[in-house]
Amino acid sequence: MNDRPTLAELSALRVIAAHGSFTRAADELGHSQSTLSHMMRTLEARLGVRLLNRTTRSVSPTHVGERLIARLASIIGDLDDALGEIDDARDRPSGTLRITASDTVISQLVLTVVPAFLQRYPDVTLDLLANPEFIDIVAEGFDAGIRLGEAVPMDMVAVRFGPPARMLAVASPEYFQKHPIPQTPDDLAHHTCIRSRTPAGRPYRWEFESQGHAIDMNVPGKLVLNRTEHMIAAALQGFGIAFVPKLLIRPHLADGSLVPVLTDWSPEYPGLFLYYPGHRHVHASLKAFIDCIRTVPLYPAYPDAAKIHI
């Protein structure tokens, strides 16, 4: 084939398919929608086959498009590895580093790790995507992801950072003035709980464990939220019992505005891990970010931590 597609066209195809939208792809790539649309028409004309199904509301790859995109993941990955080796030869890490994590984790990174990293490595562009759903970082073109250890795929290299995690059931003192404190998870059936859903839309089941006995339950409650900070705010307002990470409520535990319950049923477990494909070259900017998260505390010591006895 003499009239080969350009790398820009193939890269744009992957981004459009990943977002299912010309609008969102244009925002990421810094092009206009009309430019991307023209690139895709040119690409399809060159290959003599339709790659994308277009409707007024969405864009999705055709069967041929899906096969091409699947092959591109490894091809472009190899190219990124080659360019990463060039970056390693430079004195300073450079280029773009793409990482995906949950909204809560990225919010915390922006407060702690990101300022230190950008100050140390001004030639690196840090591209962070907040996504509640677990995605294929290789297929989606990310250098790394950050998730709890239990969610990291077995074929990935995982780097643990940050303290152990712990989920706590908490409510305001005002709530417990009107309701008895639960002594076992089964007692939650008689309480008002602030519920949440998984990214897939299923009710999030609260998990407890004590002396080898594990319980996971779908708790009752008339308020359902999908962001941890909203659940914390609702608990502070006395709406009911929330089930949230201890690390995010330390100030409220210290000042008594949230009261933990069922602490004997809330063990610690491994916290966050940064993970990346083991078969890929680890370029200089990712190595630098790993060094940064190992040295900069994700959750700095809270001044009143000594007041928290859990």
257 contact partners, CB below 8 Å, separation of at least 6: 172, 173, 236
pLDDT of 25 reads 86
Lowest mean per-residue pLDDT among 45-49, 73-77, 85-89, 152-156: 85-89
Confidence of residue 304 (pLDDT cuts 50, 70, 90): low
Nearest to 36 by CA among 55, 5, 9: 9
Q: pLDDT digits over 197-248, tens only? A: 877 778 889 999 998 899 999 999 999 998 899 999 999 999 999 999 998 9
pLDDT of 236 reads 98
Highest mean pLDDT among 22-36, 67-81, 204-218, 270-284: 204-218
Which secondary structure element, helix H or strand E, spans residue 15, and what is its range? helix 7-19
Instruction: Give the separation between CA 15 and CA 129, rounded to whole angstroms.
Output: 14
Full set of structural domains in the chain with CATH: 7-73 (1.10.10.10), 90-161+271-301 (3.40.190.10), 167-265 (3.40.190.290)
For residue 140, the Cα-to-chain-centroid distance in whole angstroms is: 13
pLDDT of 309 reads 56
Q: Which residues of 76-109 are buried (b: 16+ CB within 10 A; e: fewer)?
A: bbeebeeebeebeeeeebbbebbbbbbebbbebb
- The token pair at 118 is 């950008």
70 contact partners, CB below 8 Å, separation of at least 6: 139
Cβ-contact 208, 241 below 8 angstroms: no
pLDDT of 282 reads 79
In order of 11, 22, 153, 213, 271, the CA distances from 140 in angstroms are 11, 16, 15, 39, 24
> Which residues, in sequence order, are bridge partners of residue 194?
223
Mean pLDDT of the chain: 87
For residue 260, the Cα-to-chain-centroid distance in whole angstroms is: 26
1 pLDDT higher than 70: no
Instruction: Find the angle CA(162)-CA(164)-CA(165) to the nearest 5 degrees.
Output: 105
Instruction: Give the separation between CA 79 and CA 147, rounded to whole angstroms.
Output: 26
Nearest to 43 by CA among 20, 19, 17: 17
Name the DSSP letter for residue 203. B
SS3 276: strand
Nearest to 124 by CA among 233, 262, 286, 298: 286
